Amino acid sequence: ETGVTQTPRHLVMGMTNKKSLKCEQHLGHNAMYWYKQSAKKPLELMFVYNFKEQTENNSVPSRFSPECPNSSHLFLHLHTLQPEDSALYLCASSHLAGGQGYEQYFGPGTRLTVT
Task: List contacts with other proteins (CB under 8 A).
Answer: 4, 6, 31, 33, 41-43, 45, 48-51, 55-56, 90, 92, 94, 96-98, 102-109
Instruction: Assign 84 to helix, strand or coil.
Output: helix
- Residues 89 and 21: their CA atoms lie apart, in Å, by 9
For other proteins, which is the closer residue by CB, 82 or 102? 102
To other proteins, the closest distance from the beta carbon of 17 in angstroms equals: 24
To other proteins, the closest distance from the beta carbon of 2 in angstroms equals: 13
Longest dimension (CA), the chain: 43
To other proteins, the closest distance from the beta carbon of 101 in angstroms equals: 8
Label the pairing between strands 10-13 and 110-114: parallel
> Please, which residues have CB within 8 angstroms of residue 94's CB and are 6 or more apart in sequence?
29, 31, 33, 101, 102, 103, 104, 105
For other proteins, which is the closer residue by CB, 44 or 80? 44
To other proteins, the closest distance from the beta carbon of 50 in angstroms equals: 4
For other proteins, which is the closer residue by CB, 49 or 64? 49
Instruction: Assign 83 to helix, strand or coil.
Output: helix
For other proteins, which is the closer residue by CB, 81 or 90? 90
